[in-house]
């Protein structure tokens, strides 16, 4: 299993390196509707925020996965304005159309972000393990169900094999209307409808050494 995972990772790295070499981008890029997206084999949320804090500054986060599961808010986070709601379930949609749900898996919504520090990627040790996912909104997050996609091993938006899953992802993006989306899973994925921000992210990741 470990050897297979390492081999798969090398395949992804090769895919991204080839695209980057041909197009001068830090990874594979594309567009869907009003959103532009980037996937990279080597990146994470902390690096993105360090290089491009504007992705989250003065915005609101909906965290749908941390280490592949629910973000359990601390008492301090609750005092600072983070919240969950019974109606804000997180679920994994299966190919059959059924849903994998857990009673304690809720969307964790932030207050307005005024610093890139003190966010879950810094305050929760489990975030360092990857499989973290968040949606970024310009206004307080609407309460409701959100399907998570970061836990699908092998999901890449550019791979036709995963169209069945990517189609659901883009349908949800259109329904929720977040400004941006970040996921640190099998690959790192960033999507946004803010064209200027997308250019800034590409430029920062292209010139950064890590």
Give pLDDT, residue 123: 83
* Surface-to-core class of residue 42, CB atoms within 10 Å of its CB (0-12 exposed, 13-18 middle, 19+ buried): middle
Tokens of 36: 């532009």
E strands, 49-131, are 60-65, 89-93, 99-106, 108-109
Q: Which domain holds residue 55?
A: 2-207
Tens digit of pLDDT for each residue in 1-24?
Answer: 334 456 677 888 899 889 989 999
**Structural domain count, the chain:** 1
Strand order in the sheet with 146-147: 99-106, 89-93, 146-147
Report yes or no: 48 and 55 within 8 Å, Cβ to Cβ: yes
Higher pLDDT, 8 or 120: 120
What is the C-alpha separation between 52 and 43, in angstroms, rounded? 13
Q: Residue 158 has what pLDDT?
A: 94
pLDDT at 127: 52
Rounded distance between C-alpha atoms, residue 59 and residue 57, angstroms: 5
The pLDDT value recorded for residue 136 is: 97
Tell me the average pLDDT across 28-40: 97
For the ranges 99-103, 127-131, 138-142, 157-161, the maximum mean pLDDT occurs at: 157-161
- The predicted model scores a pTM of 0.91
Position with higher pLDDT, 86 vs 57: 57
């Amino acid at each position: 299993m470990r050897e297979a995972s390492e081999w798969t990772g090398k395949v992804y790295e090769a895919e991204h390196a080839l695209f980057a070499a041909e197009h001068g981008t830090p990874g594979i890029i594309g567009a869907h509707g009003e959103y532009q997206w980037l996937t990279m084999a080597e990146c994470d949320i902390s690096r993105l925020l360090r290089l491009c804090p504007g992705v989250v500054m003065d915005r609101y986060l909906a965290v749908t996965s941390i280490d592949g599961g629910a973000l359990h808010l601390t008492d301090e986070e609750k005092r600072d304005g983070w919240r969950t709601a019974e109606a804000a379930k997180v679920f994994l949609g299966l190919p059959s159309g059924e849903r994998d749900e857990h009673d304690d898996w809720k969307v964790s919504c932030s207050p307005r972000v005024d610093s890139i520090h003190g966010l879950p990627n810094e305050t929760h040790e489990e975030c360092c393990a990857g499989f973290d996912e968040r949606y970024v909104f310009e206004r307080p997050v609407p309460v409701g169900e959100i399907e998570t996609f970061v836990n699908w091993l092998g999901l890449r938006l550019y791979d036709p094999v995963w169209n069945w899953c990517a189609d659901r992802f883009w349908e949800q993006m259109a329904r929720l209307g977040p400004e941006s989306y970040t996921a640190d899973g099998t690959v790192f994925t960033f999507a946004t409808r803010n064209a200027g921000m997308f250019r800034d992210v590409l430029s920062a990741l292209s010139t950064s050494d890590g």
